[in-house]
Amino acid sequence: MSKEQKEQISQEDNLTMKRQNAALKLSDEEIKAAFEFCHGYMQFMSQAKTEREINIYAIKEAEKNGFKKFNFGDKLSVGDKIYYDNRGKSVILAVIGSDPISEGINLTAAHIDSPRLDLKENPLYENEELALFKTHYYGGIKKYQWTTVPLSLHGVIIKQNGEKITVNIGEDNGDPVFVVSDLLPHLAQDQMKRPSPEIIRGEELNIIVGSLSVKDKDIDKKVKYNILKILNEKYGIVERDFLSAELEAVPAYKPKDIGFDRSLIGAYGHDDKVCAYPELRAILDIKNPKKTAVAVLTDKEETGSDGNTGLASSYLKYFIEDISETLGSNFRTVISKSKCLSADVNSAFDPTFPDVFERANSSFINYGVVVTKFTGSRGKSGTSDANAEFAGEIHHLFDKENVIWQNGELGRVDLGGGGTVALFMANMNMDVIDVGVPVLAMHAPFEIVSKIDTYMAYKAFYAFQK
Ligand code: MN
Ligand code: MN
């Protein structure tokens, strides 16, 4: 090959963007590091499944790593590590950097709520001598997927005397689980003709919780009564206490390796724990950052971020405002110079359903963390759409720090859409772009991610804040 031919080929190499599987680029040691990181992720996933449980986990890990509880007005200095607990359902961690805070903060934002079945306010009833819970699903689900899945129950009940009871049943070996039934195929002719959003209707997502009658003749609903008796013995609650409870039914199983090569992880709630966990690990691991690093683990993303524990509320804004003033600046100055990675998942290209994706602009399993410039639907409605300048800055940072990343849109134009917390961050007046892990079967009771991509999310958040 002549010198000119060689030069021409190398020029073509640079001219054309190559999207390549990360497994081809990584050393065996790096792949091993990814698998080891995910071992920790899977342990986390098996102990913390809901926003309240992740909040507790994050605070415990933070305290282990020298973070102190922050109260508005506390004095702060360089190197301080603090956390702020918002109502036990969202949490902010921060490491005060050596640069003046007026230079801005580096923020990562992931959500710790996932789609699930919430119990209704007055959930318990008996029908044909079965005891059941009525539910109201939370977040965007395909309702039919949630039948015949073993479910555990998580949450809190506030008794009339104000005492808070924590519920976690169905996770430990030996615990009972709960389940929504489905119709046998033999009798499902009519059901299978329903439009698919209605194969299982919202009011059919009823969870079986018991079947044994008390022998007492005078009691009308004997199975329900027996359940109330058991709950009273176990938790000291009465039926009315359900009115002041938050109880969530989630899949009861633990995360599992998927595949002969164990390269993938199947679990409930990767969206968005697969970004929340790397984000948490990254802020726990950073030492002496220049810019103040802030990580928020928020609630309520799956229902639109409204509510006082969601990012449409002011809790994060007030936190930034308070630390800004404590450190001698003000919110407006700080926020306008701040940068955010909105840490949320994207949809991975699924070879079984290729028609909903546009290959060149989709993310792929094992191609690294996805940088998503915009989300939204119907002509980019509901997106913050990152500025090209900021997109370029993040791409350059990831290249420099050997973070393997890819681009990706959710799917084909006009087929649907979705959003993240990015717009709430952008609306405060900071630069923001979505960075997260590609997921197969998103919002299903068992979602799938790659170990390499999950590790790249950690490397990305760490590189951004270190
Ligand atoms: Mn999400
Ligand atoms: Mn989601």
Give the mean model confidence (pLDDT) for residues 41-67: 98
Q: Cα dihedral angle (447, 452, 458, 459), rounded to 10 degrees?
A: -160
What tens digit of pLDDT does each residue of 432-442 get?
A: 999 999 999 99
pLDDT at residue 289 above 90?
Answer: yes
- Pairwise CA distance, residues 76 & 328, whole Å: 10
Output the CA 45–ligand 1 centroid distance in Å. 16
Position 14 confidence tier, pLDDT thresholds 50, 70, 90: confident
Tell the burial category of 333 from Cβ atoms under 10 Å away from its Cβ (0-12, 13-18, 19+).
middle
pLDDT at residue 400, as a whole number: 98
pLDDT at residue 9, as a whole number: 66
The greatest distance separating any two alpha carbons of the chain, rounded to the nearest whole angstrom, comes to 98
Output the CA 205–ligand 2 centroid distance in Å. 20
Output the CA 5–ligand 2 centroid distance in Å. 49
Output the CA 110–ligand 1 centroid distance in Å. 8
- Pairwise CA distance, residues 147 & 444, whole Å: 11
Counting ligands in written order, the one closest to the CA of 276 is 1
Task: Say how many C-beta atoms besides its own lie within 10 A of residue 291's C-beta.
Answer: 23
Angle value at C-alpha 454, between 450 and 457, nearest 5 degrees: 145
Contact 335, 320 (CB under 8 A): yes
Give the mean model confidence (pLDDT) for residues 83-107: 98
Query: Which single residue is written with the structure tokens 């840490």?
Result: 343
Counting ligands in written order, the one closest to the CA of 346 is 1
Query: Which single residue is written with the structure tokens 């800055």?
Result: 393
What one-letter code names the amino acid at 103?
E
Specify the DSSP element, H or E, that contains 133: strand 130-138
| Average pLDDT for the chain | 96
Query: Which single residue is written with the structure tokens 């370029």?
Result: 392
Least confident of 5-14, 252-261, 335-344: 5-14
Give the mean model confidence (pLDDT) for residues 378-396: 94
Position 3 confidence tier, pLDDT thresholds 50, 70, 90: confident
In the numeric block, which tokens belong to residue 144?
Answer: 């039919």
Look up residue 349 and give its DSSP letter: P
Give the mean model confidence (pLDDT) for residues 148-172: 97
pLDDT at residue 258, as a whole number: 98
pLDDT at residue 453, as a whole number: 98
In the numeric block, which tokens belong to residue 163?
Answer: 């005492």
pLDDT at residue 398, as a whole number: 98
The length of the chain, given as a count of residues: 466
- Provide the residues around ligand 2 (an ion) whose CB is within 5 A: 271
- Provide the residues around ligand 1 (an ion) whose CB is within 5 A: 271-272, 344
Closest CA to 462 of 398, 393, 367: 398
pLDDT at residue 417, as a whole number: 87
pLDDT at residue 72, as a whole number: 83
With a CB cutoff of 8 Å and minimum separation 6, the contacts of 397 are 403, 463, 464
Output the CA 274–ligand 1 centroid distance in Å. 9
Which residues sit opposite 439 in a β-bridge? 347
pLDDT at residue 102 above 70?
Answer: yes
Output the CA 113–ligand 1 centroid distance in Å. 8
In the numeric block, which tokens belong to residue 306?
Answer: 């409204």
pLDDT at residue 466 above 80?
Answer: yes
Which residues sit opposite 371 in a β-bridge? 407, 435
- The proportion of the chain whose per-residue pLDDT surpasses 90, expressed as a percent, equals 91
What tens digit of pLDDT does each residue of 63-82 get?
A: 999 999 999 889 999 999 99
Output the CA 427–ligand 1 centroid distance in Å. 19
Counting ligands in written order, the one closest to the CA of 275 is 1
- The proportion of the chain whose per-residue pLDDT surpasses 70, expressed as a percent, equals 99
Contact 214, 229 (CB under 8 A): yes
- Pairwise CA distance, residues 193 & 188, whole Å: 9
pLDDT at residue 18 above 70?
Answer: yes
What tens digit of pLDDT does each residue of 180-231 get?
A: 999 999 999 999 999 999 999 999 999 999 999 999 889 999 999 999 999 9
pLDDT at residue 433, as a whole number: 97
Q: What is the CA radius of gyration of the chain?
A: 24
Give the mean model confidence (pLDDT) for residues 136-148: 98
pLDDT at residue 362, as a whole number: 96
Counting ligands in written order, the one closest to the CA of 141 is 2
With a CB cutoff of 8 Å and minimum separation 6, the contacts of 217 are none
Output the CA 162–ligand 1 centroid distance in Å. 33
Counting ligands in written order, the one closest to the CA of 110 is 1
Task: Say how many C-beta atoms besides its own lie within 10 A of residue 300's C-beta.
Answer: 24
pLDDT at residue 1, as a whole number: 67
pLDDT at residue 4, as a whole number: 73
Q: Cα dihedral angle (296, 298, 302, 308), rounded to 10 degrees?
A: -130
